[in-house]
Amino acid sequence: MEIVTEKDPKIFRALPKKSLSPWAMARKKFKKNKLAMASLFFLIAVAILSFLAPYITTADVSRINIGEMSLEPSSKHWLGTDRAGRDVFTRLLYGGRISLLVGISCTVFVILLGTLIGSISGYFGGAVDSLLMRFTDFILNFPFLVFVIVLNAILFGKINGLWVLIGTISILSWGGIARIVRSKILAEKENEYITAAISIGCSPAKIIMKHLIPNILSTIIVQATITFATMIVAETGLSFLGFGVPQEIPSWGNMLNSANEPDVLQFKLWIWVPPALIITITILSINFIGEGLKDAFNPKSRR
Amino acid sequence: MLKYAFRRILGMIPMLFLTSIVVFSLAKLMPGDSLSGEIDPRNTDPKYIADMREKLGYNDPLPQQYFHWIGNFVQGDFGKSTRFKIPAAEVIGERIPNTLLLGLSSILITYILAFLMGSYSGRKPYTLGDNIIGGLNYLGLSIPSFVAGVFAIFLFSFTLGWFPSNGSIDIGVTEGTLDYWLSRLHHVFLPAVVLGLLSTASYTQFLRNDIIENSRKDFVRTARAKGTPERKIYNVHILRNSMIPLITFLGFDLVAIISGAIITETIFTYPGLGQLFLDSVGTRDYPVLMTLTMLFSFLTLIGNLVADVFYGIVDPRIRLE
C-alpha cells in the first residue's frame, strides 16, 4: 500500500527529512479531520462554560422562586425558567458541570481499573489470568442498569450522593476495557524487546508500566473516549429515571427528568429541549472525536 | 459443536450461584425487610410481629436464610409481593407478555430496518442515499434512548397524534379480538422503535461495511464474469454471506433489551418488567425486586451464552479454547 515510488516527486523530495514520530503523525492526521476538530472545540467550549458557570451567570441555581414559575424565554431568562422558577440557562451550565464531572471521574476509574486488571491478567497469564478473567466475566454478566439502580438504592444517603453514583457505575463498567487491554497485552508481550527486558532483569511492574502500556496507549485512549460517551449516557439516563444524581443537584439528566410530566413535555419545550439537545450534541461530538482518534492512530488509514 | 455448547452451559451454573449470593446480600443490605407482605397488617402488636419474625426465619443466621431463600427459589416459590399481597411470581407473570411483545417487536423492527438500510447502503456506497443513511446512523448511535423516547413522544404522540404516548392497550377493547391485537401493536410500536434504535444503527453500519467488503471478493468477480445479473449477485451471493455474522448479534440483543426495557418502559409508562422493577425499588418490594434481579441476570447470562454459541457456529476457531 505504501510503496514509495520515484515517480512521485512529492514523496521523493520529502525522503531526506526526519520522519515524524507516530504521535506527531497521529496529531497531524487528527488536525486534518475537520469534523473531529470541530467536535473537540465544541466539547472544550462546553466544558469551559460549565466550569466557569459561577462567573457567567449570577442567578441562584438552587433557589426556588414561586413568582417566576415556568416563564417562557425572555431577555431576563434566556432559556426561560423551569417549574420551580429556576433559570434554565443557569441550570444548564451547572448541570454540565456535574454531568461532565461524573463522566470524567467514571472514565478515569474505569480506565485505571480496566487497564490494571487487563494488563496483570495478560502479562502473567496462567492461573492469575484465568482467575481474573473469570472475575471479569462475572462482572460483565451483571445487567448493568439493574445493579447500578439496586446499589444506588442501598448506598443512597450513606455516602455523598455523587460519589455513590460514580463508584457504582465504575465498579460495574471496567470489564470491557479489561478484556480489550488483556488481548492487546497478550499480543504485545510476544515481541522480542519484552524478552530482552525480562533478560536484563526488569521487574514485571516496570515492564508493564514502561514497555507494554506505552505501546498500547493508543488503544486505551480510543477506548477512554468511547467510555466517556457511555458514562455520560449512563449518568444522564440514571438521573432521568430518578436513580442517579440526587434531585437537588442540577445535572442534564435531572433537568430532562421534568419531561416525564406530560404538561411540560407538550407545552413547555424550553424546559426539556435544551438539556436533550446538549446531551445529544455532546455525545455526538465525543463519538466524532473517538472516530477521529481511531483513524489518526491507525497507520493504515490515509485520510 | 454440541460439546462446546454443553461446556458453556455447565459454566453458567457457578455464575448463577454467585449471582444469587450477590443478589441475596444486596437485598439484605437494603434498609427494612419484606416482613409486611407476610403478616396480617391489622395486627400491629409488637409481640405478634416479633413472633412472626422468628417464625419466618428473619432471626436465623444469614447463610441459613440464604439457603432457605434459594431453596424456595429453585422450586418456584419467590415469596409474596409486599405491595400487591400476592405471590411475586404472579405479579411478574402478569407483566411478562408485555415485555416479551416489546422485545420481539423491537428485534423484528431492528432487523427489518437494518436489513433495508444496510443492503441499500452497501449496494450503493458513497452516494447521496448512503450518506443520508450514514448520517442517521451516527445520530442513532449517539442519541441516548431516553432522549429519543422523549422526542418521539413529543413528535409522534403529541404533535402528530399518530401513536399513543402511554399504556399497552386501549381501554374497553375485548381480549382476543382483532381490535385487541391491533391496539396492542399500535401501543408497542413507538417504544419498540426507540428500544431498537441503537442496534438498528450498529447493524446497518455492520451490514453496509460487510457488503462492501464482500463485493470486492473473488467469488463476486467470478459471478460477474459468468454473467450473473447484478441483482442476483447482491441478493443471493453477497447478502447470504453478510447475513450470517448478523445472526450472532441476537444474543447481545437480549442483553440490550433488558437494560433498554427499563428506560423505554418508564418513558412510555408501558406496564412491563422494566417498569415493575423500578416500581419495586421505589416501594422496597423485596421479593419482586430479588426475583426480577435474578431473572434479568439469568437472561443476561443466556444472552451472552447465545452470542458465544452462535459465534462458535459461525467461527469454528472459537470452539477450541
- Residue-wise pLDDT for A277-292, tens only, equals 999 999 999 999 998 8
pLDDT at A137 over 60: yes
Residue of A nearest to B260 (CA): A145
Under 8 Å between Cβ of B287 and B27:
no
CB contact under 8 A, B296 and A143: yes
User: What would the grid cell of residue B266 be?
Assistant: 418508564
Of B147, B158, B267, the CB nearest to A276: B147
Q: Which of A166-170, A229-233, B60-64, B140-144 has the lowest mean pLDDT?
A: B60-64
Segment A16-56, tens digit of pLDDT? 567 778 888 888 888 888 888 999 999 999 999 888 877 77
Q: How confident is the model at residue A1 (pLDDT cuts 50, 70, 90)?
A: very low
Measure the CA dihedral A243/A249/A254/A257, to 10°.
90
ipTM confidence score: 0.82
Helix (H) or strand (E) holding B302: helix B286-314
A142 close to B (CB below 8 A): yes
Shortest Cα distance, chain B CAs vs residue A48, angstroms: 22
**pLDDT at res. A231:** 93
Residue A122 has a pLDDT of: 92
- Test mutation, A39, A155, A179, A240, chain B, max B CBs within 10 A: A240
Q: Do A137 and B30 touch (CB under 8 A)?
A: no
Name the minimum distance, in Å, from the CA of B176 to any CA of chain A.
31
The structure's pTM equals: 0.85
Domains parsed from chain B with CATH numbers: 2-74 (no CATH), 95-314 (1.10.3720.10)
User: Residue B199: pLDDT above 70?
Assistant: yes
Tell me if residue A102 falls in helix, strand or coil.
helix
Q: Read off the pLDDT of residues B286-301 as tens digits, 9 standing for 90 and up.
A: 888 888 888 888 888 8
Q: How far is A238 from chain B (nearest CA, A)?
A: 9
CA B167 – CA B263 distance, rounded (Å)? 15
Cα separation, A145 vs B163, in Å, equals: 28
A141 touches chain B (CB under 8 A): yes
pLDDT band at B44 (very low <50, low <70, confident <90, very high): low
Chain A residues lying within 8 Å of B307, measured CB to CB: none
Residue A250, pLDDT above cutoff 70 = yes
DSSP string, B80-124: B-TTTSSBHHHHHHHHHHHHHHHHHHHHHHHHHHHHHHHHHHHHS
CB B191 within 8 A of CB B271: no
**Could you give the 3-state DSSP secondary structure of residue A303?**
coil
What is the predicted pLDDT for the residue at A180? 93
Residue B321 pLDDT exceeds 60: no
Using CA atoms, how far apart are residues A286 and A105, in angstroms rounded to an integer? Answer: 16
Mutation site for A-interface testing, chosen from B20, B33, B126, B146 by largest number of A Cβ within 10 Å:
B146
A146–B278 CB contact, under 8 Å:
no
User: Which residue type occupies B71?
Assistant: G
